[in-house]
Structures are given as structure tokens and as C-alpha cells.
Amino acid sequence: MQELSENILLACKDLSLGYEGHPVADGVSFTLERGDYLCIIGENGSGKSTLVKTLLSLQPSLSGSIAWAERVTVGYLPQQTPVQRDFPATVEEIVLSGFLAKSGLRPFFRKQEKGLAQEKMARLGIGHLKKRCYRELSGGQQQRVLLARALCATGDLLLLDEPAAGLDPKVTAELYELIASLNRDEGITIIMVSHDLPAVRSYATHVLHVMHGGCTFGTLAQYAASDAGKLFFAEAEA
């Protein structure tokens, strides 16, 4: 296994991503340090979702290497399907499910886990909703529930796939600020897939632009000064 320096959580080198030997993205290389806020951007079909699945070990890379620091835990907030939005469980039950990966075959949650779940719900402003049915909540409330569940799975890194998709502007702004506060105040490292230019500019410390045939990676300032960054921002503002 590749050795990483103390502050590095993740290092990817020359990844080729795809399915059944057919690449959708090549030459994907980046490093992630503790406390970074990395935004992954790119056109539809460029390989962003494939990269997320590969980082989560849901599918292998075609080539290249992925090195994680030891004992790193990841909380994942995926894009929801209509079926998932209609899930018939209480808020508390869904938040507690974030501990399932750690609990193994144990058929109950410990007192400490229940206490931590209460803390995460209170931190995200949904403690009063814990007995409500998840499918009765608004889109913004559901995202806070899923974020609380992801926080029960990790204190290290959150991987967010278009977390504000389908939310109205006010709720979107509140959610982004909440995520930023977790990064800023609690030191949780963020990887967020996003098409939202204002969010990228406001919160990202680093940007990974995945493109067919390669990628561009750097700090927000480095990316904005690159050819890919200038073109992306110009097209987004047009």
C-alpha cells in the first residue's frame, strides 16, 4: 500500500474509470488533505458518478491507484430516488442506520450510539423531528436527516453527491452553509459533486474538473486561472 504523509487522507493517481473495460475518464489524479473542501465538477457523463462509486469501492478502477490513510471513515450522502424519498421510517431510525457499518451483525444500537444520533440531529436542527416519518418531511429536511445519518458514519470525511439537487434557493443556501460549518468548525473533510458555480466559488478549497480524456486539479485559485477553469466559469456565467 502506498504510504501517505500525515495530513493526507486520500491520494488518487492516474485513475482510469469506466465499466467492463470501457473508460469514461482517464488520468484522474488528485490528493485530499484533512480539512479540505473539494468540489468535483464536469459535464454530464464525464465520469463524476463513476469516480464516486470507485472511491466508495462499489466498483473497481480500470487502472491507476487509490490510497487511503489508515482508519479513515466516510459518510456518504447520495442523490435520492423517488422511492427513497418515500421511505416509511422515522427520522431517528434513519439517522441511527448510519451506525450499521460499525455495528456488524449486532441487532441493536448501543446507548452511546443513540446519544450520538441525538447530538447529530440537534446539530443539524432536526432533533424535534426525530419521531416524524421521513416521507412526510420537506426536501430540505430530508437532506438534513441524510446528512445526520452520514455524520453517524464518520468524523473524518463526507462524500456528497449533488446534495442540493431539487431544493429551492433559500433551502439550498442554508444546506451549503451547514455543510461549510461542518468543514470549518468541526474539521470534517468534504468531497462534493456539484454543478453549482456559486457554491464552488464560495466554499471549495480545491477543485477537480473531470473531463473526457483527463482532469484538472488544484486549489480554487489555481483552477480559476487554468484554461479549463476560465472556460468553465465563462460558460457557467454566460
**pLDDT digit string, tens, across residues 24-70:** 889 999 999 999 999 999 888 888 989 999 999 999 999 999 999 99
Main-chain phi, psi angles of 29, to 5 degrees: -135, 130
Using a 10 angstrom Cβ sphere, with 0-12 exposed, 13-18 middle and 19 or more buried, the burial of residue 25 is buried
At residue 18, the pLDDT reads 87
Least reliable range by pLDDT among 5-14, 104-113, 115-124, 137-146: 104-113
In a domain? residue 144: yes
- Give the mean pLDDT of 148-156: 94
In a domain? residue 222: no
What domain count does the chain have?
A: 1
In a domain? residue 138: yes
Strand (E) or helix (H) holding 49: helix 48-55
b/e map of 97-116 (b: 16 or more CB within 10 Å)? bbbeeeeeeeeebeeebeeb
In a domain? residue 32: no
In a domain? residue 51: no
- Domain of residue 141, residue span: 80-153
